[in-house]
Structure 1
Amino acid sequence: MTSGPAGQAAGSSVPPITRTPSRVQRSATLRTQDGVDIDAAYDPGPDPAGELAIVLAHGFTGGLDRPHVRRAAGVFAQRAAVITFSFRGHGASGGLSTVGDREVLDLAAAVEWARSLGHARVVTVGFSMGGSVVLRHAALAGAAHGGRTEARVDAVIAVSAPARWFYRGTAPMRRLHWVVTRPLGRVVGRFGLRTRIHPHEWDPVPLSPVESVPLIAPTPLLIVHGDRDPYFPVDHPRMLAAAAEGGAELWLEEGMGHAENAADDALLGRIAEWATASWTSATADT
């Protein structure tokens, strides 16, 4: 859902335009490559001098101030620095949601901010729509720039992510498509879900998550999915893992539903451990 091809880019060359330091956390307004202001926050974690930062990408209708996003960020911050942000069209960020297309520019701005704060290793963790965004971002940054830009990442974790676009095989996804594609649905999105949605169809259609996965290697990739996900059944994570051809780790979580709301603290802790281990392994290899 975008009016042009800018979503195919994966970088942001503009630094934060505002920054407010505090003893525990910093807030910032980041500006993306296409000029959208993104509301972001930074928690330095247990070691302010630590090399690892986790960038958390929320799901559709989420935001950095939503309780489940804050809870996930709090668990991650026990092990590393954490950056949270609201995608365009969500919360205090500007712009309109393109439901996974130009959002790669929002993520790129957050990753670049992590680098500018001195973090040598950055791991992205995305939930649902955010999961599709972290996959596309890693693929585009790698394919377009050889992993050498400040938007590059050192590991990728996709939780409850779709494998393909335009999926309508479940009732929740049929409702979501109504919200996104119908004028009345977008009104419901704006006032009922606090999400401002772009009215135009994707043009061109962006690289799908399953098309993105083969372009991520050799960057470590973890795919996490619940076996009771009401939005995307388990053929989605299996398709993503198969596309990685052995280059991804797959966790199918028994009894888990969808995204941030369904990820309990124990699972979030294991995800943070994996992020830390992937960074430690990468450090040992360099």
Structure 2
Amino acid sequence: MDLRPSSRHPVHPPERVVTLLTADGQRVSAAYDAPLPGAVDGLTIVVAHGFTGSWRRPDNRAIAQALSAHAAVVSYDARGHGRSSGATTLGDDEVLDLDAVAAWARWLGATSVATVGFSMGGSVVLRHAALTGRSTREGADAVVSVSAAGFWFYKGTAPMRLLHTAVASPVGRGILRHGFGTRVTATEWQEPYPLSPSESASLLAPLPLLVVHGDRDTYFPLEHSRSIVRAARAGAAERGVADRAEEWVERGFAHAESAATPDLVDRIGRWCTGAVGHDARGAADGAVARRSTP
């Protein structure tokens, strides 16, 4: 979720662009970046963007291209964004978009899928993994959540108060539509509310999970990432399964795609290949990754 303009120059176009159909009939624009020489075989990394994002934005294209050094990459426009149909539901029905994209990645030949989400996309990858599990074709084999909210309805920072005001009013939704190309549903959530990111994380173990957050995030402070990691570890302990959750607290990192450095994206790519057993290098060195515990 980032209302700032993109900070990167355009990079190379993807190898392939398609339109996919979700289970509820929405059209999703998706792009495929072939793995670069030296990348591992069999793994596809699926990238879910943040609020106001699109796979076509320079920030997102730069991330996709950087990750293609490690594996094939599929990125997409969630509903209500870019050239996909519909309106964004702020992380609820977007799980169906990720379902369709992950299934396409499998159809293209992926034997393993790692989902990497930023901000709103970071919430979506957690919810998707919890709701689909590893028993379905769409399920992820590893999950990376970057700059995600840990719980809903947060208004503790100025950007989030502004966002809540915008999505709740016709004028604000008009500004988002015309100024940022993001079409927001006018339908408010009703109880029971969608499974929260932290609740979702509690259901993931023993799935490999990486939670990345910046200590200068102006949208969601560190309490959000720590709530996700605590829930993941508590869920593993409750079910008596392996805890494979990791937390990286990135010094100086602000929020989501526009703040992601090439070094951070490279380490995420290496973590993905290690998490699914494709690369003996495994995750980044703990000192370099600046991991912390909740």
TM superposition score normalised by structure 2? 0.85
Partner of 1:280: helix, strand, or coil?
A: coil
| 2:282 counterpart of 1:248 | no
Measured against aligned partners, the alpha-carbon deviations of 1:170-203 in whole angstroms (never above 9, x if no partner) come to: 0000011111111111001100111001001113
Measured against aligned partners, the alpha-carbon deviations of 1:234-264 in whole angstroms (never above 9, x if no partner) come to: 1111111111114310000000000001110
2:209 to 211, 217, 221: 221
Measured against aligned partners, the alpha-carbon deviations of 1:94-118 in whole angstroms (never above 9, x if no partner) come to: 0001010000000111100000001
Unaligned segments of structure 2, at least 5 residues: 1-12, 234-242, 281-294
For the residues of structure 2 that align with 1:184 and 1:231, how far apart are their CA atoms? 22
Deviation at 1:162, TM superposition (A): 0.4
Unaligned segments of structure 1, at least 5 residues: 1-22
For the residues of structure 2 that align with 1:135 and 1:276, how far apart are their CA atoms? 18
Partner of 1:208: 196
Partner of 2:224: 236
Partner of 2:276: helix, strand, or coil?
A: helix
Partner of 2:42: 51
**Inter-CA distance 52–127: structure 2 relative to 1 (3 Å threshold):** same
Which segment drifts farther, 273-282 or 56-65?
Answer: 273-282
2:93 to 68, 77, 102: 102
For the residues of structure 1 that align with 2:126 and 2:135, how far apart are their CA atoms? 17
Q: Which has the higher contact order (CA 8 A, sep 6+)?
A: 1
For the residues of structure 2 that align with 1:210 and 1:282, how far apart are their CA atoms? 29
For the residues of structure 2 that align with 1:104 and 1:163, how far apart are their CA atoms? 16
Partner of 1:164: 151
Partner of 1:93: 84
The letter for the 2-side match of 1:160 is: S
Check whether the contact 2:216–2:251 (CA below 8 A) recurs between aligned residues.
Answer: yes
Check whether the contact 2:40–2:279 (CA below 8 A) recurs between aligned residues.
Answer: no
Partner of 1:185: 172
For the residues of structure 1 that align with 2:114 and 2:279, how far apart are their CA atoms? 12
For the residues of structure 2 that align with 1:254 and 1:282, how far apart are their CA atoms? 26
TM superposition score normalised by structure 1? 0.87
Deviation at 1:31, TM superposition (A): 0.3
For the residues of structure 1 that align with 2:278 and 2:156, how far apart are their CA atoms? 39
Partner of 1:215: helix, strand, or coil?
A: coil
Deviation at 1:26, TM superposition (A): 1.1
Check whether the contact 2:229–2:245 (CA below 8 A) recurs between aligned residues.
Answer: yes
Partner of 1:61: 52
The letter for the 2-side match of 1:162 is: A
1:31 to 6, 17, 21: 21
For the residues of structure 2 that align with 1:65 and 1:179, how far apart are their CA atoms? 24
For the residues of structure 1 that align with 2:249 and 2:269, how far apart are their CA atoms? 17
The letter for the 2-side match of 1:170 is: T
Partner of 2:226: helix, strand, or coil?
A: helix
Deviation at 1:46, TM superposition (A): 2.0
The letter for the 1-side match of 2:35 is: G
The letter for the 1-side match of 2:183 is: R
For the residues of structure 1 that align with 2:247 and 2:40, how far apart are their CA atoms? 31
